[in-house]
Structure 1
Amino acid sequence: MNGAESLVRTLVACGVTTCFANPGTSEMHFDEVEWMRAILGLFECAVTGMADD
């Protein structure tokens, strides 16, 4: 297990169900977890706005 996998497991264990991120390589682990909904935005401001609910 690497650091990214450990982070995802911890977030899921804490009840986090959605991850808003900017596309790249570091957040692709969120897309591999069936219990985590990964929403990839193309622009940081758009992702921030989506996450502010």
Structure 2
Amino acid sequence: MLYFLIVAGALLFILNIWSSDFDTQKINFWSAGASILMVVLGFLELKKVKKNEN
């Protein structure tokens, strides 16, 4: 599930950049920030799970 969160966040970020035609003035920064947050939270939870397994 955590890998899905990381991949989905990265994919949403790439699609957000692509939908704005790579123009920084057209990027929806709330959406980009949310997708980056998804990736960061996915990695944090993955690190927490790996730490608890050891």
TM-score, with structure 2 as normaliser: 0.26
Please state which structure has a larger fraction of its residues in helix: 2
Greater length-normalized contact order (CA 8 Å, ≥ 6 residues apart):
2
Structure having the higher strand fraction is 1
